[in-house]
A and B are shown apart, each in its own frame.
Chain A
Amino acid sequence: MQASRARLFKEYKEVQREKTADPDIQLACDDSNIFKWTALIKGPSETPYEGGVFQLAFAVPEQYPLQPPQVRFLTKIFHPNVHFKTGEICLDILKNAWSPAWTLQSVCRAIIALMAHPEPDSPLNCDSGNLLRSGDIRGFQSMAKMYTRLAAMPKKG
C-alpha cells in the first residue's frame, strides 16, 4: 500500500516535471485519489485514429507496481483489441506480460503503439477483427475513421 503510493507519487512528480516531454500523452491524476488517473492520448498519425483525442481511465491496484493498472478507453474507439462497449483493452503488458518497470506513461505509449498496430488475431471487437482478418483494410479504416470523427474529435460548430 505504502509502496504503491510512493511509486505513484514519484510518477506524478515525473509527469509534472516532463509535461511537455511527450506531446501525444497527457496524464493527470485524480485530485482526491492517487489510484485513479486519466490520460488523453492523440491518435497516431497515418492511422484512421489520426486527429482524434482519446481518453483513458486508469484504475491502479494497491499492489501496483507488482500488478498492472487496469486501463480502459473512455472514448469510443473502433479497434480490434478494444472492447467496443466497455473500452476494455486486450494488451499483453496489461495482463500476463506486465513488468513493474512499466509506468503509467509507458503504458500510454504502449496503447498508442497498439492503436497503430492492431492485433486482429486476438480480438475483443470481433467486427473490427473480422474486417482486418478478411483483408478488408479499407472497410476497417473507414469504420475506424468514422468513429474517430464521431467520438474522438471536438464537434465543430
Chain B
Amino acid sequence: MSKRVLCKFFAHGACLKGEHCEFSHDWKDPPHNICTYYQKGLCAYGSRCRYEHVKAARSHSSASSSSTNARQSLVSDIVPLGNSTRSVFGGLTPVPGSPMELSASSRPFIPPTKPAWNQEYGHHDSLDDWDIGEASSIRPSDRPICSFAAAGNCPRGEKCPHLHGDLCPTCGKHCLHPFRPEEREEHLKSCEKKQKHLEALKHSQEIECSVCLERVLSKPTAAERKFGLLSECDHPFCISCIRNWRSSSPTSGMDVNSALRACPICRKLSYFVIPSVIWYSSKEEKQEIVDSYKAKLKSIDCKHFDFGNGNCPFGSSCFYKHKVKPGSYTWRHHRPPPRRPPPRRSGFVDDLFDMFNSIEELTASETALDPMEELTSLEMALLLRDLILDTSDSSSDEEDFYSP
C-alpha cells in the first residue's frame, strides 16, 4: 500500500467516506502535501502556504520511513515541513536519512487522538525557528499576522511563531497589525462602522410595519427587507408597503395629498420616501440616511431630463443629476423642451412633490406660451393637450424612478 496517500480528511479526524475512501486511512501512509498550485508555477499563498512548495514531483522513496510519515501527518496542515522545509532551509535536496530526518524519526509516535493542530508544538521548535528566522529577515511591516489570532483565537497562543496582531477593541480580535498603521486605522474605522451598523440592525429587527403588521426585517425577500422612511415623521413601514400605499390609485374619493401622501398613522404629509436597511434611533441618524440617499441619487442621471433633451417634471428640485450635454435641446435653447404626453400606464405614481409638479407645470406653460417660441400649430396643440392631461392626472412614474 505504499502507493496510497493519506486522506487529508481522515487526518483532520473527519472523513465521510470511511471505508470506501479512495485515499488511505492508515496513519503510516504518507500524506499528499505538495502544493499543486506551486507545481503549476504560481501559488498565491507564497511562503504562507500550508502545502509544500517543492519543484520536483515527490518521490515515494523519500518518504519511506514510517515514523517520519506519521509525524508529518500530524503536523502537515500547520507548518510546511519535510522536503520543502529542508529544501528552502538549507538549499538541500531531500536526502533520506539526513541528520534532521534521523532526529525526527527518533521522536515517539503519538497516536492522533486529537486534531493535529492540538498536538504538542514543542516537537517542532526547529521548524518554528525556521519560520521566524525567515520572517525576521524581512521588514516587520511585511510580515503577515497570524490568521488564527486574527479570526479570534490562536490555539498556539504564546508559542505561535507568527506575529500576533493587537487586540481590536471593537471586534475583540487580534487583527491589528502592529507595524502597519494605515491598515490599523482602516480596520478600526471599518470595524466601528460595522459594529454600529450591526447594532442598528439589531434594534431594527423588532420593528413592525403598520401596514402589513409584520416585522420588516423578517420579510421573505431581500428587496422587501427594507424600511421606507417618511421625511416628516418617524413611523416605520416596509418600503414596499408604503410605496404600494402611496402609489395606490386614489379611488372612492381619496384625496392624494391628505390621504395617500400622508403617513398612514399620523397623517403628516411627506413628499418622499427614503429606503433604508436599518431603522434609525436618533434624528442625526435619520438625517444621515436621508443625506446619503440623496447623495446617491444626485450621482445618477435623471432619465426625465435626459441630458437636456427631456423635460423633468421636478425641474430644479429633482433629486437626480441634471447634466446638460452640449448639443442637447436645453444646451441650445437654454430651456427644457416642451413636454410630451406621458406614456399611459396603469398605476401612475407620483410619489414625491406633487406640489413641485404644479409649480413646474406653471413655469412650463409660461415658457410654452412665450411668443418668441417657434412653435408649430401641431406642437401647440400637443402642449395644450398635455396641460389638460396634467391637470386631470398629475402623476408620473416617479416611484419606479426611485427604486435603486
Q: CA of A107 to CA of B120 in the docked complex: distance in angstroms?
A: 72
- For B267, give the chain A residue with the smallest CB separation: A99
> Which residues of chain B are near A103, meaning CB under 8 Å?
213
Which residues of the other chain, B, contact A14 by a CB distance below 8 angstroms? 213
* A interface: dominant SS: loop
Residues of B248-296 whose CB lies within 8 A of A: 248, 251-255, 258-259, 262, 264-265, 267
A65 proximity list for chain B (CB < 8 A): 211-212
Q: Is the CB of B244 within 8 A of A6?
A: no
- Evaluate contact between B265 and A101: CB separation under 8 angstroms: yes
From residue 79 to 112 of chain A, which have CB atoms closer than 8 A to chain B? 95-101, 103
Task: Answer whether A10 and B248 are a contact pair too, CB < 8 Å, given A96-B254, A98-B259, A99-B265.
Answer: no
B154 within 8 A of A: no
B211 touches A100 (CB 8 A): yes
Whether A101 contacts B254 in the complex (CB less than 8 A), given A66-B245, A66-B248, comes out as no
A11 touches B244 (CB 8 A): no
The answer to whether B210 has its CB under 8 Å from any CB of chain A is yes
CB neighbours (8 Å) of A99 from chain B are 259, 262, 264-265, 267
Complex: how many Å from CA A66 to CA B259? Answer: 11
Which of A10, A95, A100, A101 meets B252, CB within 8 Å? A95
Q: Is A19 an interface residue (CB 8 A)?
A: no
Given A66-B245, A95-B253, check contact A100 B259 (CB 8 Å): no
Contact assessment for A67 and B259 in the assembled complex, using a CB-CB cutoff below 8 Å: no
B317 → A minimal CB distance (Å) = 27
A7 within 8 A of partner (CB): yes
B212, A6: Cβ atoms under 8 Å?
yes
Least Cβ–Cβ distance between B259 and chain A, in angstroms: 6
Cα–Cα, bound, A11→B259 (Å)? 23
**Which A positions have Cβ atoms within 8 angstroms of B?**
3, 6-7, 10-11, 14, 63, 65-68, 95-101, 103
Per the bound structure, the CA–CA distance linking A7 and B245 in Å amounts to 14
Residue of B nearest to A13 (CB): B213
Contacts of B214 in A (CB 8 A): 6, 10
Binding site for A on B (CB under 8 A): 210-214, 241, 244-245, 248, 251-255, 258-259, 262, 264-265, 267
What is the CA–CA distance of A3 and B244 in the complex, to the nearest angstrom? 11
- What is the CA–CA distance of A63 and B264 in the complex, to the nearest angstrom? 16
Asked, given contacts A7-B213, A10-B212, A101-B265, whether A96 binds B248 with beta carbons under 8 Å apart, the answer is no
CB distance from B354 to the nearest CB of A (A): 17
- Give the distance to chain B from A83, nearest Cβ to Cβ, in Å: 17
| CB-defined contacts of B253 to chain A, threshold 8 Å | 95-96
| Nearest A residue to B265, CB-CB | A101
Partner of A96, one of B211, B245, B252: B252
A96 to B214: give the CA distance in the assembly, Å: 25
A10 CA to B218 CA, complexed, in Å: 14
In order of increasing CB-CB distance, the 5 nearest A-B pairs are A101-B264, A99-B264, A100-B211, A101-B210, A10-B213
Complex Cα–Cα for A103 and B214 (A): 13
**With the chains together, A103 CA to B253 CA distance in Å?**
20
A109 to chain B, nearest CB (A): 15
CB-CB under 8 A from B254, the residues of chain A are 95-96, 98
List of A residues within 8 angstroms of B245 by Cβ: 66, 100
What CA separation (Å) do A109 and B262 show in the bound complex?
A: 22
How far does the Cβ of B250 sit from chain A's closest Cβ, in whole Å? Answer: 9
State A97–B245 Cα separation when bound (angstroms): 13
A66 to B211, CA, bound (A): 8
A67 to B211, CA, bound (A): 11
Complex Cα–Cα for A148 and B207 (A): 43
Give, as a whole number of angstroms, the nearest-CB distance from B402 to chain A: 19
Q: How far is the CA of A88 from the CA of B253 in the complex (A)?
A: 17
Question: A98-B259, A99-B259 given. 16 additional CB < 8 A pairs?
Answer: A6-B214, A7-B211, A7-B213, A10-B213, A14-B213, A63-B248, A66-B244, A67-B251, A68-B252, A95-B253, A98-B254, A99-B262, A99-B264, A99-B267, A100-B210, A101-B210
Roughly how many angstroms separate A95 CA and B259 CA in the complex, as a whole number? 11
Minimal beta-carbon separation of A16 from chain B (angstroms): 14
Assuming the A-B contacts A66-B245, A66-B248, A67-B248, are A97 and B259 also in contact, with contact meaning beta carbons closer than 8 angstroms in the complex? yes
B248: shortest Cβ distance to chain A, in Å?
Answer: 4
CB-CB under 8 A from B213, the residues of chain A are 7, 10-11, 14, 103
Give Cα distance in the complex from A96 to B257, angstroms: 11
CA distance A103 to B264 in the complex (A): 12
CB distance from A11 to the nearest CB of B (A): 7
